[in-house]
Structure 1
Amino acid sequence: MPSNSLIYVSLLVSAMLPHAAQARLSPAESRMVETVRSEQDRSIALLERLVNVNSGTMNLAGVEKVGQMMRAELEPLGFDVRWVPMAAVGRAGHIVAIHKGDGKGKRLLLIGHLDTVFEQHSPFQTFVRKGDKAEGPGAGDDKGGMVVMLAALRAMQAAGTLKAADIEIVLTGDEEDAGSPVETARAALVEAGKRADVALDFEGLVRDGGRDMGSIARRSSYSWTITATGRTGHSSLIFTPQYGDGAANELARIVTAFRQELPEPNLTFNVGLIAAGANASIEADGARASASGKTNIIPAIAIARGDFRTLTNDQTLRVRQKMEAIVARHAPGTDAKIEFEEGYPSMAPTAGNRAVLASLNGVNRDLGLPEMPELDPLKRGAGDISFVAGDVDGLAGLGPYSTGDHAPGEAVDLPSISTQAQRAAILMSRLSREPRK
């Protein structure tokens, strides 16, 4: 067994480790850490106020009210804030806020969103704290992310590093259900991406096996609709040369071929809704279908809706072409077409994105926190940062850790707000001092 003196030395070294980590921070960075920690109650109180305002995507007044609340937080930090209305696409609008620094360092784009998936009819409406967790609509996605962003910016202001930083913030009002056409709905974000050198997305942190992960990639999300048609008649004539296979069997052929021929790494595809019969239709919202028919009638129409997700734009093009080829083969006596809808592009893993994660891991090292490995992109969904990924290096997942997102009971881990804000404040301060390429 070890001697008492060895035990004492071991305990002493362990106690000194956090101080050794803090010693690697500059005085300004230490001030940021202290500010974030001391203002944690303020951050939680703001989160409660934001969560208790319903801002489901289609609650346009609620989304705008949350935008007003964010304006009130950003203007005292020196941001020029404007509201970009989105009535043209049937949505509320976006917040665009610009902080002019000294023009010498990298220009940062911070991304978040004002809306949630919980509309006014949802029974889940209220912030409820439960110890180190808090439940509420958008508590993690993405009101918690906006709170992290603000906590980091306040810490930068307190430490004097915000003054020289060139930062643009875009908080979209329809991230959960983008307006159409998407070119209009995301114009402000795309323009901001072209001006930036680094993009930081404040949606939620992902943990894998209890470990904080770095998100350098996000997959795309595209929806599709297949409409198959066939010759209708008495069921006893199915599969004859005169009547062919019928619309339902044509659709079944297509869906089966997708399952057999499409699989490849980083691709997922899903059939979410099917209707077939003598008559069939899908409602305008794309979420409900109706059909009528009889067992002794060959179906004249069959409709399916689904989605697919890819890691790169090249993969998106390749998968679309394969789907189109499968649809075009046609069973006897049938026809079919596939239509693709607007969606979210991919954020491919790039060397530039890995460099931003390396910078964040430098912050982790100096804070005495574990390194954040790259997250498998299959483990997170699509997001707004993908719209600028072709123009600027970026990193996703700077918001807090949460569980149960998009469902009643969504809960944010409150201590992660502080940790993420410390990371973000130091990362942004360091990046804003790096010379532009």
Structure 2
Amino acid sequence: MIIKRPNYKKLQFIALILFSIMSFSQNNRIEKSIIKAVDKHSENAIDLIKESVNINSGTMNFEGVKTVGRLFQKELDKLGFKTELTNGDAYGRAGHLIATRKGKKGPKFLMIGHLDTVFELDSPFQDYTMLNDSIMKGPGVADMKGGDVIIILAMQALHEAGLLDDMSIEIVMTGDEEKSGDPLELSKKALIDAAKRADIALGFENGDNNPKTIVVSRRGSADWQLKVNGNPAHSSQIFTEAIGAGAIYETSRILNEFYVQLAKEKDLTFNPGFIIGGTTLQPDEDGTGGHAFGKTNVVSQDVMVRGDLRAVSLDQLVKAKATMERIVSENYPKTNAELTFSAGAYPPLAKTDGNVKLLGYYNTVSQDLGFGPVKAVNPRNAGAADISFTSEYVDMAIDGLGLTGGGDDHTINETGDLNTVAIQAKITAVLMYRLVNSKL
């Protein structure tokens, strides 16, 4: 009689296959429960967007910003978050909504939104209207009350699936994204402190309004001011050794050299948005206008130019500033110029390996759920945003997870596609589940 010994390697392989099937089945069941929960709460989420959009929360309408904060705070309180509406008096704004939950598994998440809009109380754009069954036109629907509600909807789904208790999550919805408080180090302190505690940052701005794209890199922005001075005299004396070229010629030289030396730099822009010049200047206190006096037969004495500078990385920003400062120092005869950059600048969100990897995870989830592939936004199509303040501290960051499919942000034609609310919430919630349970 021949007794065959068991093939242990074969048995181990079969056991591994069975375990993988069981594990896949369990994971698939959990993810289905997440999706089901999103669908269950989607209608209420749409109602929440409508309610919040009809509350004016222009940055300088402090009470309106706080009212929207209290509205979202109530929803997060129901989910067991520890919530706080902070006081923004120290930086001249309404304050922020901060919500936290501490779990024992996986990475620490930071989820970023903002409560304010660009539409102040004097704006003619105060209420939402439905253009059809899914496109909502309204102040801040895309930028970014829709994104705030997507955060809440994703949290509701994770809570209903019994997963929220395992997760460490901090939600920061700022009250001054559209018009930052001063000083910036106080305005953004809560956000930066949260970033220092986090491993992964998820931003719910609307990116470039394309649901098939995600932001892995955002350009930072800094304001600049150029002041130029020349010798005033009768125009017949211009270009003489005693009088020189005058302030307007010197300004034209500087701006032209900015263009010649920097315009071909990829993803770098520098825009002179405001200029006054002549014999005497009277700029407005808010820096948005002014008055210049001059005559055709007088050499110009003073010029002021204000603009912004946008760069895709800190290194690019530093190099561009150095080039601009060098150009400014090479003056025409009998002129001088001074270039200053604002202290309160948005840093760039640099494209990192971690950000690209996180996009890959997001893309996988999107395709697994049947929503198709997602690629990176061209940084030229994504302006500065609060997530940029996390770039020095988190391992991975992506933005643009909010309500998309609209257009004309910051105008009275701002719209958002409400069909993307559930889609974005499903991808977000499943992504977070997989990251916590290392299923990617």
Picking from 200, 203, 218, the partner of 1:201 is: 203
Give 1:24 deviation, angstroms.
Answer: 9.9
Secondary structure of the residue aligned to 1:143 is helix
**Segment drifting more, 186-195 vs 83-92:** 83-92
Secondary structure of the residue aligned to 2:86 is strand
Secondary structure of the residue aligned to 2:170 is strand
Q: Letter of the 1:134 partner, please give it.
A: M
1:372-395 deviation line (CA, Å, top 9, x unaligned) = 112111111111111011111101
2:428 counterpart residue number: 424
Q: Retained in 2: the 8 A contact 1:385–1:396?
A: yes
1:176 counterpart residue number: 178
1:333-368 deviation line (CA, Å, top 9, x unaligned) = 111000101211001111100111111112112202
2:128 counterpart residue number: 127
Q: Retained in 2: the 8 A contact 1:138–1:410?
A: yes
Secondary structure of the residue aligned to 2:85 is strand
Give 1:320 deviation, angstroms.
Answer: 0.4
Q: Distance in 2 between matches of 1:336 and 1:24?
A: 68
1:351 counterpart residue number: 353
2:402 counterpart residue number: 399
1:246 counterpart residue number: 246
Q: Retained in 1: the 8 A contact 2:207–2:382?
A: no
1:190 counterpart residue number: 192
Q: Distance in 2 between matches of 1:295 and 1:427?
A: 65
Q: Distance in 2 between matches of 1:232 and 1:175?
A: 43
Q: Retained in 2: the 8 A contact 1:28–1:160?
A: no
Q: Distance in 2 between matches of 1:73 and 1:371?
A: 31
Structure 1 pair 160–262 and aligned structure 2 pair: CA distance change class (3 A): same
1:204-231 deviation line (CA, Å, top 9, x unaligned) = 14356xx611211101111100000111
Give 1:250 deviation, angstroms.
Answer: 1.0
Secondary structure of the residue aligned to 1:250 is helix
Q: Distance in 2 between matches of 1:82 and 1:265?
A: 42
Q: Retained in 2: the 8 A contact 1:28–1:159?
A: yes
Q: Distance in 2 between matches of 1:120 and 1:168?
A: 31
Q: Letter of the 1:176 partner, please give it.
A: E
Secondary structure of the residue aligned to 1:225 is strand
Q: Letter of the 1:280 partner, please give it.
A: L
- List aligned pairs for 1:57-72, cutoff 5 A: 57-72=59-74
Determine what percentage of the aligned residue pairs are the same residue: 40
Q: Retained in 1: the 8 A contact 2:280–2:294?
A: yes
Q: Distance in 1 between matches of 2:257 and 2:282?
A: 23
- List aligned pairs for 1:130-141, cutoff 5 A: 130=131, 131-141=133-143
2:108 counterpart residue number: 107
1:218 counterpart residue number: 218
Give 1:134 deviation, angstroms.
Answer: 0.5
Give 1:316 deviation, angstroms.
Answer: 0.6
Q: Retained in 2: the 8 A contact 1:231–1:246?
A: yes
Q: Letter of the 1:198 partner, please give it.
A: I
Q: Distance in 2 between matches of 1:375 and 1:337?
A: 36
- List aligned pairs for 1:24-423, cutoff 5 A: 26-101=28-103, 103-130=104-131, 131-206=133-208, 212-263=212-263, 264-341=265-342, 342-392=344-394, 393-401=396-404, 402-423=406-427
Give 1:84 deviation, angstroms.
Answer: 1.8
Q: Distance in 2 between matches of 1:113 and 1:281?
A: 36
2:5 counterpart residue number: none
Q: Distance in 2 between matches of 1:24 and 1:203?
A: 33
Q: Distance in 2 between matches of 1:205 and 1:363?
A: 19
1:213-266 deviation line (CA, Å, top 9, x unaligned) = 121110111110000011112111111111111111111111011010112111
**Segment drifting more, 57-66 vs 424-433:** 424-433
Give 1:283 deviation, angstroms.
Answer: 2.1
Q: Distance in 2 between matches of 1:23 and 1:222?
A: 51
Q: Distance in 2 between matches of 1:219 and 1:280?
A: 33
Q: Distance in 1 between matches of 2:352 and 2:390?
A: 13
Q: Retained in 1: the 8 A contact 2:219–2:348?
A: yes
Q: Distance in 2 between matches of 1:75 and 1:328?
A: 56
Q: Retained in 2: the 8 A contact 1:206–1:212?
A: no
Structure 1 pair 267–205 and aligned structure 2 pair: CA distance change class (3 A): closer
**Segment drifting more, 114-123 vs 199-208:** 199-208
Gaps of 5+ in 2: 1-23
TM normalised by structure 1 equals 0.91
Q: Letter of the 2:337 partner, please give it.
A: A
Q: Distance in 1 between matches of 2:277 and 2:189?
A: 38
Give 1:116 deviation, angstroms.
Answer: 0.4
Q: Distance in 1 between matches of 2:375 and 2:215?
A: 9
Q: Distance in 1 between matches of 2:178 and 2:419?
A: 25
Q: Distance in 1 between matches of 2:381 and 2:26?
A: 33
TM normalised by structure 2 equals 0.91
Give 1:39 deviation, angstroms.
Answer: 2.1
Give 1:181 deviation, angstroms.
Answer: 1.5
Q: Distance in 2 between matches of 1:338 and 1:122?
A: 34
Q: Distance in 1 between matches of 2:277 and 2:192?
A: 40
Q: Retained in 2: the 8 A contact 1:99–1:166?
A: yes
